[in-house]
Amino acid sequence: MDAVDVIRTKRDGRRLSDEQIRWFLEAYTAGDVADEQASALLMAIVFQGLDPDELATWTRTMLESGDRLDLAAVPNPTVDKHSTGGVGDKVSLVLAPLVAACGAAVPQLSGRGLGHTGGTLDKMEAIPGWRADITPARMIEILTDVGAVIAAAGSGLAPTDRKLYALRDVTGTVESIPLIASSIMSKKLAEGTSALVLDVKIGSGAFLPEPERARLLAQTMVGIGEANGVRTRALLTRMDTVLGRAAGNGLEVIESVETLRGNGPEDLVEVTVALAREMLALVDIDTDPAPVLAAGDALGVWEAMVAAQGGDPGAPIPVAAHREVVPAPASGVLERLDARAVGIAAWRLGAGRARKEDAVSAAAGIVCLAKPGDEVRAGEPLLELHADDPARFAGALAALDGASSVGDRAPAALPLVAERVGPS
């Protein structure tokens, strides 16, 4: 095999053979193919795509490049959820203990934020003492004893994807649907769960804002999961404005705990319950999660899960040293509060990172004092910005310029769950 021949094959729109795919990915992982050559193949895939057979081989090769967790010792049925990321998307923090409280086991292997979207691990690390890195044996113990775990994927899971992902991030090849789907699903399949629900975001704050592309991604990932023996479904959920009222690591933990107490914002509760119902249905549990959440019955699972990973569930979450208020631009009804703008502003306040190695602030972020549909008065507080360094406010305010609009009537109420993808 020759790397240049593989690159030319895809560049010219021809199908890669199974042998070419396996050889190239294995050689790249071993260091025998250069980053420049892998970058060229990734760019060719961006323009030429992968057909279903190519994608199946590509994903399977990445899956087989490393370890695969064995969750057979966990007594309850296992089911996980993956989100394509959004602004204020703290669903995992509520969903994992909720589904566990209903009788399933949730091995939630999560990631970190990049750009305007937040990362679940960054949020959890706002809790004093909490650790993302745990061994597979410890994960199985927690799943058995508590029912839910939120942790970092070990370096042994899909190492080819880990290497390719870092390359895609710096070569403008992130947005390819086959590459996104294979990246997500190789890690999720390596996790060893028996069922998976995908939360694919649409709207201004989503990674793929266009419904058509998001739907194709959902269909592609569901197909990969089902083909590999994992019962898989997807929901397309709207991310046009912040989910809940908080965007920022510690602020989202505080809001998640309130939601687990039964006091959550309606939109966060709606999306969380919809995903929980899908997860429970996939593992044949007929408990309705809505009353469980409303009654606060999942809070104990949260506290046990946090404590099992070294965290103190009763410790105060870090608070920012500085705050600044953004006033409403006019009186009337808030018609729009753009999720992407709020996400970029929270990132500039210190809640996110531009590069994976950047540090994030546990306290930085934004609280939305009003949401679309609420009445506001000119000059009264609309957003509250939190930062450790007041010099960060200027960049955040610039990102928020034009992010909101006020009119005479509330925007049309669209369902947060836009579509379901997968077998009936």
Residues that are catalytic: 82, 161, 168, 183, 187
Q: What are phi and psi of 70, to 5 degrees?
A: -110, 105
CA distances from 309 to 85, 124, 125, 273, 361 (A): 24, 10, 11, 25, 20
Q: Other C-beta atoms within 10 Å of 12: how many? A: 9
C-alpha span between 62 and 308 (Å, rounded): 31
> Which residues are within 8 A (CB) of 231 and not within 5 positions of it... i.e. 6 or more apart?
194, 195, 196, 225, 282, 283
Characterize 13-32 residue by residue with b for buried, 16 or more Cβ atoms within 10 angstroms of its Cβ, and e for exposed.
eeebeeebbbbbbbbbbeee
Residue ranges in 309-413 assigned as alpha helix (H): 339-346, 393-400
C-alpha span between 40 and 214 (Å, rounded): 25
C-alpha span between 273 and 291 (Å, rounded): 10
DSSP-assigned letter for residue 392 = G
DSSP-assigned letter for residue 114 = B
C-alpha span between 107 and 222 (Å, rounded): 19
C-alpha span between 313 and 302 (Å, rounded): 8
Burial class (CB in 10 A: 0-12, 13-18, 19+), 353: middle
Burial class (CB in 10 A: 0-12, 13-18, 19+), 136: middle
Q: Other C-beta atoms within 10 Å of 217: how many? A: 23
CA distances from 331 to 240, 328, 366, 406, 409 (A): 22, 7, 21, 7, 11
Burial class (CB in 10 A: 0-12, 13-18, 19+), 258: middle
